[in-house]
């Protein structure tokens, strides 16, 4: 596949990407609505399938646990209240339900039901609080990581082009990743790897990096080592940054196998394929002291021509969708 049509339907992104994109859209629907719907469906299933009515209360805790795990304190507490109200309604409609003796106002039954409901609400609040606390810690870690990345970017850059290059690549790559239907964690990996993909240039001579004349073979081979050097700098950090090592290592690998390493096609991480395209697009559209950048339209056409050779066709398809939506222009970063 060497060319891609101007208008790229969602189906061109592949079945897996389409499913992921649809899932992301569905998650934007009002969460409370989905919780209420799940409770109604669960009630119908349990009342239809479970013969031992004493087991029902245990099953009604499942939506609350799932809500606390997925959405946090607020939604877990709302789910718990909804579960309690649903069980009370069912008990009122059928006094023999849930082990009742047929007397709607029998004190012992309602005492047990109240104890169960209170315990469920408290559990929901506490479990949801753990989720919120975890999310707050993750947010703080991301802010710390972003600060470190900003500092590293200053070390990497010595001129305006290089200073803003990694920022622009991160913007482009993130847009492409979203259009491909990657989940939030993988999009974040793409963004982080794009910000750090040139960190290995810290160990490359400034004279070579900013040489206006054509590079010699030895100088070009020296430039190519920035990929392995970048991985070497990041590897001791560990943690979540360890996930981006294969991405940084493969961001100059071309889809047809003619890149820095002897890899091609799906053997290259999709995140690296995304950054490869974003990196090339920014290089083509950026002005340098010795080279005038292309227009965005010209660069888009080059991306289309090289789909299937330098770039993954699915990545180019997502790029074209983002381009058509006006998402492939990044402002200069001012610090």
Spatial distance between the Cα atoms of 81 and 213, rounded to a whole number of angstroms: 71
Spatial distance between the Cα atoms of 227 and 200, rounded to a whole number of angstroms: 6
Is 177 domain-assigned?
A: yes
Is 69 domain-assigned?
A: yes
Using alpha carbons, select from 56, 76, 244 the residue that is nearest to residue 145: 244
Element (H, E) at 65: helix 62-70
pLDDT in tens, 110-129: 677 777 788 888 888 888 88
Q: Are residues 171 and 269 in the same domain?
A: yes
Is 331 domain-assigned?
A: no
Q: Are residues 189 and 277 in the same domain?
A: yes
Q: Are residues 89 and 211 in the same domain?
A: no
Last residue of a domain, one of 81, 102, 134: 134
* pTM over the 0.75 mark: no
Confidence of residue 87 (pLDDT cuts 50, 70, 90): confident
Q: Are residues 126 and 164 in the same domain?
A: no
**Unique residue bearing structure tokens 């290592």:** 249
Q: How many residues does the chain have?
A: 335
Q: Which domain holds residue 269?
A: 157-324
Q: Please calculate the CA angle 329-186-266 and round it to the nearest 5 degrees.
A: 95
Average pLDDT taken over every residue of the chain? 77
Is 11 domain-assigned?
A: no
Q: Are residues 36 and 120 in the same domain?
A: yes
Asked if residue 3 has pLDDT above 70, the reply is no
Confidence of residue 10 (pLDDT cuts 50, 70, 90): very low
What is the pLDDT, as a whole number, of residue 8?
A: 46
Confidence of residue 6 (pLDDT cuts 50, 70, 90): very low
Q: How many domains does the chain have?
A: 2
- 256 Cβ neighbours under 8 A, 6+ residues apart: 264, 308, 309, 310
Q: What is the domain-level CATH number for residue 165?
A: 1.10.3210.10
Q: Are residues 166 and 255 in the same domain?
A: yes
Is 334 domain-assigned?
A: no
What is the pLDDT, as a whole number, of residue 51?
A: 46
Using alpha carbons, select from 121, 36, 138, 117 the residue that is nearest to residue 76: 121
Q: Are residues 213 and 290 in the same domain?
A: yes
Q: Are residues 182 and 221 in the same domain?
A: yes
Is 175 domain-assigned?
A: yes
Q: Are residues 183 and 120 in the same domain?
A: no
Spatial distance between the Cα atoms of 226 and 248, rounded to a whole number of angstroms: 10
Asked if residue 102 has pLDDT above 80, the reply is no
Using alpha carbons, select from 16, 17, 100, 15 the residue that is nearest to residue 56: 100
Last residue of a domain, one of 134, 168, 203: 134
- Strand segments (E) across 235-325: none
Is 68 domain-assigned?
A: yes
Asked if residue 83 has pLDDT above 60, the reply is yes
Last residue of a domain, one of 134, 168, 202: 134
Higher-confidence residue of 99 and 42: namely 42
Is 15 domain-assigned?
A: no
Using alpha carbons, select from 154, 179, 204 the residue that is nearest to residue 187: 179
Q: Are residues 172 and 274 in the same domain?
A: yes
Q: Are 60 and 79 in contact (CB under 8 A)?
A: no
Q: Are residues 72 and 199 in the same domain?
A: no
Spatial distance between the Cα atoms of 172 and 321, rounded to a whole number of angstroms: 12
Q: Are residues 122 and 163 in the same domain?
A: no
Q: Are 3 and 307 in contact (CB under 8 A)?
A: yes
What is the pLDDT, as a whole number, of residue 149?
A: 63
Candidate ranges 41-55, 128-142, 195-209, 249-263; pick with highest mean pLDDT:
249-263
pLDDT in tens, 124-156: 888 888 888 877 777 776 766 666 666 565 555
Asked if residue 319 has pLDDT above 70, the reply is yes
Helix (H/G/I), strand (E/B), else coil: 179: helix
């Amino acid at each position: 596949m060497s060319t891609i049509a101007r208008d790229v339907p969602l189906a061109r992104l592949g079945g897996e990407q389409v499913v992921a994109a649809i899932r992301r859209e569905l998650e934007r629907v009002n969460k409370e609505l989905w919780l209420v719907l799940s409770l109604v469906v669960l009630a119908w299933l349990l009342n239809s399938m479970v013969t031992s009515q004493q087991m029902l209360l245990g099953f009604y805790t499942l939506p609350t646990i799932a809500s606390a795990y997925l959405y946090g304190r607020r939604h877990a507490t709302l789910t718990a209240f909804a579960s309690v109200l649903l069980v009370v309604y069912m008990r009122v409609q059928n006094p023999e339900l849930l082990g009742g003796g047929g007397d709607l106002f029998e004190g012992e039954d309602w005492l047990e039901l109240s104890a169960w409901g209170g315990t469920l609400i408290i559990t929901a609040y506490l479990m949801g609080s753990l989720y919120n606390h975890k999310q707050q810690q993750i947010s703080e870690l991301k802010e710390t990581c972003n600060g470190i990345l900003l500092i590293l970017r200053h070390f990497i850059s010595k001129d305006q082009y290089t200073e803003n290059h990694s920022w622009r690549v991160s913007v482009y790559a993130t847009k492409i990743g979203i259009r491909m239907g990657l989940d939030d964690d993988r999009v974040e990996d793409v963004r982080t790897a794009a910000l750090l993909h040139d960190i290995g240039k810290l160990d490359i001579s400034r004279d070579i990096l900013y040489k206006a004349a054509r590079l010699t073979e030895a100088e070009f081979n020296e430039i190519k080592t920035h990929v392995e050097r970048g991985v070497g700098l990041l590897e001791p950090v560990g943690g979540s940054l360890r996930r981006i090592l294969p991405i940084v290592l493969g961001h100059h690998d071309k889809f047809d196998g003619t890149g820095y390493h002897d890899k091609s096609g799906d053997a290259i991480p999709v995140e690296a394929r995304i950054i490869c395209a974003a990196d090339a697009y920014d290089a083509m559209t950026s002005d340098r002291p010795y080279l005038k950048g292309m227009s965005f339209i010209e660069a888009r056409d080059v991306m289309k021509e090289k789909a299937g050779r330098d770039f993954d066709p699915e990545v180019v398809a997502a790029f074209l969708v983002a381009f058509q939506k006006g998402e492939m222009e990044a402002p200069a970063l001012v610090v």
